[in-house]
Structure 1
Amino acid sequence: MGNREDLLHAAKRCLYEKGYALTTARDIANGAGVSLAAIGYHYGSKEALLQQALQQAIEEWGEGLGRTLGSLAGTPAERWDAVVASFRADSALWTVQFELLAQLERTPELRRLFGDANRQARIALAQLIGGAPAGREEQVGALYQAMLAGLAAQWLMDPTDVPSGTDVMAAMHAVVSTTSTMSTVD
């Protein structure tokens, strides 16, 4: 590996261990075994490096979840259980993502990164979890994305009290059966 890759790996480790706000350029450079100047040379700034490291970490999580869900022949409830299990496996990534949510308003680059990741995740979630009628993948994916973020937030607050996949599906069925008598939207 060269300095550029070493910096990226060190930045990811720092994100996981210290979070975004507490990571210094020196932490990253020391972790990579390179000079501070290497960050500017390869990435332009510490922030640009951390954003690239975060983007790579999110992509890796998404690919891993995709492989896991793609290998399951199970029910949507089992798929939601796998989503929740991914929070445990990648808790440091979820911690740093929630740390950054408060900074999105003031950091356009991070907002763009999160927005792009969410848009890509919607269709993938609709396909991987299932249940989206043709032509409604974007809408169902947006609902799944909201559910995923909510479950992640609940997991971060109390990992012992997160709804199971069965609970999630039972709640969805209850809402659908209650609201099916109300007016519908096409």
Structure 2
Amino acid sequence: MSTAAIGYHFGTTDSLLVEALMRGIEEWSARLDDRLRSAPARPQRERLAAIWGSVTESFHGYRGVLAASFELIARADEDSELRDQLRLTVEHARHGLATQMLDIDPQREPERAHRAGTVCYAMLSGLIVQWLVEPTNLPDRDALADGLLDALGESGDRTGS
């Protein structure tokens, strides 16, 4: 694409890069969403372990996008429109994670969904950082499930762990 075409369609090459990165993040998010929606109906702890296994599997093939997403966050300090867009994305992700991981309906339990979704999002973000730094040394899916249940003050069905 010529510089003139970039300028016409995106304004600047930085805007083009931001747009490409946002599309990459949306693609990864859709892949993760599909994986979470297909989580098997099992006792809570087993289901969470399967979900966290799917989460870590979703990272493969998206290393560049996931790494660059942190640069995008850093750019948000200088770009209020980007910051607003990211803020909405994070809030949407919190609600989605509360629903898909913990079966919490944000419409019926908005406070609980916000709190639990925030914990899930923090774990997801932290797991991405750990995977980017040292992909072979992630906590296993069972430890992540137990950690989430501990953080939420729930016991789940931990038999066999």
Q: TM-score, normalised by structure 2?
A: 0.79
The 2-side partners of 1:174 and 1:41 are apart by 52
2:76 maps to which residue?
104
Q: How many residues align?
A: 145
Residue 168 of structure 1 deviates from its aligned partner by 1.0
What are structure 2's unaligned runs of at least 5 residues?
A: 42-46, 155-161
User: 3-state DSSP class of the match of 2:56?
Assistant: helix
CA distance in 2, matches of 1:137, 1:89: 30
DSSP-derived class of the 1:114 partner:
helix
Percent identity over the alignment is 33
| Alignment partner of 1:67 is 2:43 | no
Give the aligned partner of residue 158 of structure 1.
134
Residue 58 of structure 1 aligns with which residue? Answer: 25
Once superposed, what is the RMSD of the aligned Cα atoms? 2.1
**Are 2:25 and 2:66, in contact at CA under 8 Å, matched by a contact in 1?**
no
Partner SS, residue 103 of structure 1: helix
* CA displacement 1:89-109 (0-9 Å, x = unmatched): 311111111233333323334
Q: Tell me the amino acid that sits aligned with residue 112 of structure 1.
A: D
Q: Do residues 141 (structure 1) and 108 (structure 2) align?
A: no
Alignment CA distance shift 1:110-1:100 (3 Å): same
Q: Rg bigger for which structure?
A: 1
Q: Paired residue for 2:98, among 93, 105, 126?
A: 126
- Inter-CA distance 152–68: structure 2 relative to 1 (3 Å threshold): same
Q: Distance in 2 between matches of 1:173 and 1:63?
A: 25
* Runs of 5+ consecutive residues of structure 1 not aligned to the other structure: 1-33, 178-186
Gap change, CA 1:142 and 1:174, over 3 Å in 2: closer
